[in-house]
Amino acid sequence: MRRLALISLLVLPGCFYPADRGRALEAKVDRLGTDTTRIQSELKETREQLAATLPKIDEKVAEVTKALKGLDTASRRKDADIGIQFQKTVEDLAQLRGQVETYLHKITELEAALAAQDQKLVAMQGEAALKEAEAKKKAEELKRPTDKKEFLALANQKAKAGDLLLARQLFNEFMKKWPKDGLVGDAHFGLGETYFSESKCREALFEYGKVLQDFPKAASAPESYLRSSDCFARLKMKEESRLALEELIKSYPKSAEAKTAKARIAEMDKKAKKAKK
C-alpha cells in the first residue's frame, strides 16, 4: 500500500504532476512548428528557383550582345531576321529579370514570415520554445542508429553532453518507436535525468514514477527511487523523500542503490536525533 501510495503521488494526473499540463499550448506550438517547416521548405524552393534563373540571364545577355553585333552587319548581310531575333531576346531577358524580382520579393516575404513565427513562439513560451524548436530541427537532421540499444545510447550520450533538449527529443522518439520494449523504462529514466539536471523536479518525478509503475524490472528502477527521494527532498517533502528510500530497500534489497538508501536513512535519523537535543 505504501508503494502504491508513493507511485500514485508520482504519476496520477491531478495528484502531484498533472499529465495534461500545457497540452493546449503544446498543440499551438506544434501548429506553429508545422507552419514554420512549410515556410522553410517554400523558402528553400524559391531560392533554388532563383539560383536556376540567374545563369539564364547571363545566357540572354550573351545572346543580346551577339544580336547587337549582328545588327551592325545586317545591311551588308541583308538578314532581316536578326532584328526579330534581337527583339525576342530582349523580351526574354526582360521576362527573366521579372522572374528574378518576383523571387527576391517572395524570399523577402518568406523571411519576414519566419521571423514572425519566431516572435509568436517567444510570445507563447519565451526563449524556451525557440530552443525546443531548434532542438526538434536538430533531431530531424541527426542520423539515428537502427539498433534500439545504440539509439538509446545516443540519447544518453546527448544528455551527458548537456544537449538536453535534443536528448529529450530522442528519448521520446525511442518510446514511440519501441513502445513495448523493456528498455522504454530506461528511456523514461533518461528523460527524467534531463529534467533533474535542470532542477525540474516535478517533471523528473513523473518520469521516474513511470519507471517504477510500468517497468519495475528495468535496470534503472532502483536509481529511480533514489532520484525520486532527491526530488522530494528538493521540494521540501521530507516524508515522501524517506518513503522513497524505504521502498527502494524493500523492493531491491540487494542492489547497490539499497545500500546507499540505508546510509541516507541513517543520516536522516542522526540529524533527527541531534535536532531533538
In the prediction, which pLDDT does 27 show?
A: 56
Give the residue from 162, 160, 133, 157 showing the smallest Cα distance to 145. Answer: 157
86 near 94, Cβ under 8 Å?
no
How much is the pTM?
Answer: 0.57
Residue found under cell 529514466: 189
Out of 95, 110, 140, a domain closes at 140
Domain contains 273 = no
How much is the pLDDT for 167? 92
What residue numbers bound the domain in which 165 lies?
144-268
- Please check whether residue 83 is in contact with residue 61, taking contact to mean a CB–CB distance below 8 angstroms: no
- Looking at the structure, tell me whether residues 43 and 106 fall in a common domain: yes
DSSP conformation class of 119: H
**DSSP assignment, residue 253?**
T
Using only the alpha carbons of the chain, give its radius of gyration.
32
Domain count, the chain: 2
Both 117 and 188 in one domain: the answer is no
Specify the pLDDT at position 49: 79
Handedness of CA 25, 28, 34, 39 (dihedral sign): negative
**Domain identity same for 152 and 259:** yes
Whole-number pLDDT of residue 159: 94
Q: 244 and 162, same structural domain?
A: yes
Q: Are residue 157 and residue 262 in the same domain, yes or no?
A: yes
- Is 277 part of a structural domain of the chain? no
Helix, strand, coil % over all residues of the chain, rounded to 5: 80, 0, 20
100 domain-assigned: yes
**Domain annotation covers residue 259:** yes
Question: One-letter amino acid identity for 224?
Answer: S
Are 256 and 240 part of one and the same domain?
A: yes
Residue 2 inside a domain? The answer is no
pLDDT at 125: 55
Q: What is the pLDDT of residue 62?
A: 73
Q: Are residues 36 and 64 in the same domain?
A: yes
Segment 182-237, tens digit of pLDDT = 999 999 999 999 999 999 988 999 999 999 989 999 999 999 999 999 999 998 88
In a domain, 215, yes or no: yes
In a domain, 275, yes or no: no
Q: Report pLDDT for 15.
A: 41
Q: Is residue 3 part of a domain?
A: no
**Same-domain check for residues 124 and 211:** no
Domain stops at, among 140, 157, 175: 140
199: left (phi over 0), alpha (psi -120 to 50) or beta: left
Give the end of a domain, one of 124, 140, 156: 140
Q: Are residues 112 and 197 in the same domain?
A: no
Whether 131 and 148 map to the same domain: the answer is no
Q: Which residues of the chain have pLDDT under 50?
A: 13-23, 25, 76-77
Whether 155 and 135 share a structural domain: no
Beta strand segments in 101-165, E: none
Domain CATH code at residue 199: 1.25.40.10
CB of 113 within 8 A of CB of 143?
Answer: no
Nearest alpha carbon to residue 42 among 122, 133, 130, 103: 103
Distances (CA, A) of 131 to 88, 118, 163, 226, 276: 52, 11, 11, 30, 48
Query: For the stretch 10-32, what's the b/e string if a residue is b when 16 or more beta carbons lie within 10 angstroms of its beta carbon?
Result: bbeeeebbeeeeeeeeeebbeeb
Residue with cell 546527448: 158
Q: Are residues 154 and 120 located together in one domain of the fold?
A: no
